[in-house]
Chains A and B, each alone.
Chain A
């Protein structure tokens, strides 16, 4: 069953067309990657799905429902979560609270009278997620004091805490060293079980290792779709992106 479909999805910024008539399909439970050079429109594509940008034209279907133009918080409640390329956490809150507030979003906003730290169901779920991403020992650290690698994992944890059906991972290994990159790759494999995932990455090793299908964007347009092997063999892709350059 397909979970996400975009139809001629387009975004113009003034004269610039960042995303140009993209047709994209994701099957439920799959992990699909998007690659492409800088400025290919990958992040803009994500921001349209998550509701941060309103598409200039085209449609987005999620679980058979048209979600084009819904606001960000509505789309979050439909079950789509983003982990951002540029770390987007709550810097002066603890690691625990960063995740707890995301868990809380599924339950309540306008509760004025109970104590937030005494909702055991929320606390337990927070602990489970912190254990999954390996941040339990640092739960009382302020998020801004975590090392970069941990912040990247917290970034994923916040997205995961909202119980997504579809997870959008925008360069989860950005700025990580090779060891951390491998760790994060393992984490992604672990959490993506039972979820549908779209992954944007620059590191070819990561992409080739964990993707089932790869979509290649160039100048806002899809130039190829296929398995990792097919993409590596594809002449157009080699020319515009892989370009003989190897990692």
Chain B
């Protein structure tokens, strides 16, 4: 009895302080994973899903073209480092700006339409970017992508540091993800975040009570794009490589799967989704190159059995604990 009540209390505390729990968890995360690079991958893809989740989980807008912002961020860093030999800071800053401007423009057009038309307009724009990157070989490397991207040391006031050992890069990513999480938590808890949820629940009524829902959705779209762009930029730093497939629709599909798997509209869900997806890929691809069949089946079963996602399911259990 004593023991279960402690477990219960810990679980409740954790669900009441999701932010600290996640940060704490990620601090020790690389040591519980089979290898550190996988932890970094999960962190970066989790950040991408987090960005996607702002739009889908919290604002209720499903985009099938989020590869666009991941790709814009990734190419920004790749191009600046390899063609202009800039510092890491400049490159990452540009990944934020470029994905922000990209989502500002594309969002403006996509948000003219709703539902399936919105989703497919996103897909169309993302595929347009894909073909631009494909054709513009002098800038993007075309089909081959950008290879052998330089690995400059990270400049800090007074000294510089090499960040490319697996563990160092993990903590480098960890810092960005932590900042992103804190910013996102503030936004979601703010009056603006509440308007996002109201729009997800009932856009019509949100407009009727006086919210300029088009502007709010547009801003949500841009925030989502910038987070995705940061994930893309970090991914390039990590891989020293930008592949044309970052912009391809499969990347858009992947982020939808990760988010749904983990639990759309939950704070921690996207990381769980990214973790499960990548971990399964990692294990199954040792045995067969057709790992996608298994990941797909598991996704299928998950959606059928708990449509609220893995973390969504856990969370509703904890909420019930709290009541009892």
Contact = CB atoms under 8 A, between A and B. Distances in A.
B158 interface: no
A113 interface: yes
Nearest to B216: A109
Contacts of A105: 209-211
- In this complex, the member of A90, A93, A117, A158 whose beta carbon has the largest number of chain B beta carbons within 10 angstroms is A90
Given A92-B201, A113-B186, A108 B191 contact: yes
Contacts, number: 89
Interface in B186-201: 186-187, 189-195, 197-198, 201
Interface in B209-255: 209-213, 215-216, 219
Interface in A76-129: 76-77, 81-82, 88-93, 97, 100-102, 104-117, 119
Contacts of B194: 97, 100-101, 104, 116
A161 interface: yes
A93 B198 contact: yes
A162 interface: yes
A73 B216 CA distance: 12
A115 B190 contact: yes
Contact of B187 (A76, A97, A112): A112
A72 interface: yes
A116 B208 CA distance: 20
A162 B210 CA distance: 8
A116 B191 contact: yes
A107 B210 CA distance: 10
Interface residues of A, number: 37
A70 to B, nearest CB: 12
A116 B190 contact: yes
B86 interface: no
A53 to B, nearest CB: 12
B205 A116 contact: no
Main secondary structure of the interface of A (DSSP, over half): loop
Interface residues of B, number: 26
A164 to B, nearest CB: 10
B205 A158 contact: yes
Main secondary structure of the interface of B (DSSP, over half): helix
Given A52-B208, A77-B210, A104 B191 contact: yes
Contacts of B204: 88
Contacts of A72: 207-208
- In this complex, the member of A107, A108, A110, A162 whose beta carbon has the largest number of chain B beta carbons within 10 angstroms is A110
A106 B187 contact: no
Given A73-B212, A162-B209, A109 B191 contact: yes
B90 to A, nearest CB: 26
A50 interface: yes
B202 interface: yes
B20 to A, nearest CB: 16
Given A88-B204, A91-B201, A101-B195, A73 B211 contact: yes
Given A112-B187, A112-B190, A116-B189, 17 more contacts: A73-B210, A81-B209, A82-B208, A88-B204, A89-B202, A90-B201, A101-B206, A102-B209, A105-B209, A106-B210, A109-B192, A109-B215, A111-B192, A112-B193, A114-B190, A116-B194, A162-B210
